[in-house]
């Protein structure tokens, strides 16, 4: 009986040790928050190559954090729901810098721009030809939706903005299916549809940023930065960048994003951070990688220009 009790105690001790080790391994996972540009299952597929690459390059484990839609994403962002890294457009990156002390590590070298696409039958009418008609876009406060708000400022001359698309590409498919008259999409998606016409194009914004929470160790931040910057140098990893609609990452800093938070000023629930520099862009941004395009300057004028039609 004593021998059995002793064995049980040893087994319980081993179980406790393995449980603690398992918990420690799980706690070492690093979450990467992304915008809800895809349904959850598709997002896992799109970002898996990037997360697998970072896991291999750093020796850590990276896990995707997605939201059901932009409303949930914005709620969690304002509530500072804990995440370790974020890969987001300029206005969200600047928000995290100002409100949550995130550090931008690397950015997509290609500038971000948004394009309002229509088929040939709506091209001559320009942007004004879509007033009272349907435009597909991801919901607020996605950058595409906010830019539509700047394009159509007259409250009695508005299009019907449809936020039913599950992804930016779904919006284009809605145009082809006759379910929508126009689609607001990122430039890297618009360029894959040469059979559609642009009636409005935004200014260039600094490319999407990969940023880190202040709780991420400095050594890991450097590993992630180095891994992202050298990503384009390995042709075997071309698919990783292709999935993201990017050509390469370059090193970045907070100055590249200064002022972009201002795009969120009219969004429900937005409050500026105490002492925020969101409306005062930095005089200069830290240099990126040699040969990379400089960060797009922050403009205080209208962010999108359109062909208004006849």
pLDDT in tens, 108-118: 999 999 999 99
Q: Please check the confidence at residue 241 and state whether its pLDDT lies above 60.
A: yes
State which H helix or E strand residue 29 sits in. Answer: strand 29-34
User: Considering the chain, what is the average pLDDT of its residues?
Assistant: 86
Q: What pTM did the predictor assign?
A: 0.83
> What band does 259 get if pLDDT is binned at 50, 70 and 90?
very high
**Domain 114-202 adopts which CATH fold?**
D-Maltodextrin-Binding Protein; domain 2 (3.40.190)
**Domain 22-112+206-289 adopts which CATH fold?**
D-Maltodextrin-Binding Protein; domain 2 (3.40.190)
Q: Where in the chain is the domain with CATH 3.40.190.10?
A: 22-112+206-289, 114-202
State which H helix or E strand residue 87 sits in. Answer: strand 85-88
Give the per-residue pLDDT at 295. 55
Q: Please check the confidence at residue 200 and state whether its pLDDT lies above 60.
A: yes
Give the per-residue pLDDT at 281. 40
Percent of the chain with pLDDT over 90: 75
Per-residue pLDDT reduced to its tens digit, 167-195 = 999 999 999 999 999 999 999 999 999 99
Q: Residue holding tokens 């390469």? A: 248
Give the per-residue pLDDT at 236. 86
Give the per-residue pLDDT at 235. 87
């Amino acid at each position: 009986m004593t021998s059995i009790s002793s064995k049980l105690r040893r087994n319980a001790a081993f179980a406790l040790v393995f449980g603690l080790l398992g918990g420690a391994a799980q706690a070492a996972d690093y979450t990467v928050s992304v915008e809800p540009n895809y349904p959850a299952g598709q997002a896992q597929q799109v970002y898996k190559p990037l997360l697998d690459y970072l896991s291999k390059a750093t020796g850590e484990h990276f896990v995707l954090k997605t939201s059901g839609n932009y409303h949930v994403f914005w709620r969690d962002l304002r509530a500072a729901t804990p995440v370790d890294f974020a890969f987001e457009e300029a206005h969200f990156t600047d928000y995290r810098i100002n409100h949550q002390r995130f550090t931008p590590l690397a950015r997509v070298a290609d500038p971000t721009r948004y394009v309002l696409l229509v088929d040939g039958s709506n091209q001559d009418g320009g942007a004004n030809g879509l007033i009272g008609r349907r435009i597909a876009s991801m919901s607020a406060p996605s950058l595409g939706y906010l830019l539509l708000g700047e394009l159509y400022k007259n409250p009695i001359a508005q299009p019907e903005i449809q936020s039913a698309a599950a992804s930016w590409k779904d919006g284009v498919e809605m145009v082809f299916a006759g379910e929508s008259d126009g689609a607001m999409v990122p430039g890297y998606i618009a360029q894959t549809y040469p059979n559609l016409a642009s009636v409005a194009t935004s200014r260039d914004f600094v490319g999407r940023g990969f940023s880190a929470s202040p709780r991420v160790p400095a050594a890991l931040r450097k590993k992630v930065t180095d891994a992202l910057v050298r990503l384009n140098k390995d042709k075997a990893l071309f698919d990783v960048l292709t999935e993201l609609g990017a050509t390469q990452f370059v090193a970045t800093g907070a100055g590249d994003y200064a002022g972009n938070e201002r795009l969120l000023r009219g969004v429900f629930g937005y409050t500026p951070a105490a002492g925020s520099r969101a409306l005062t862009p930095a005089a200069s941004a830290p240099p990126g990688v040699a040969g990379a395009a400089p960060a797009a300057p922050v403009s205080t004028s209208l962010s999108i220009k359109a062909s208004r039609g006849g």
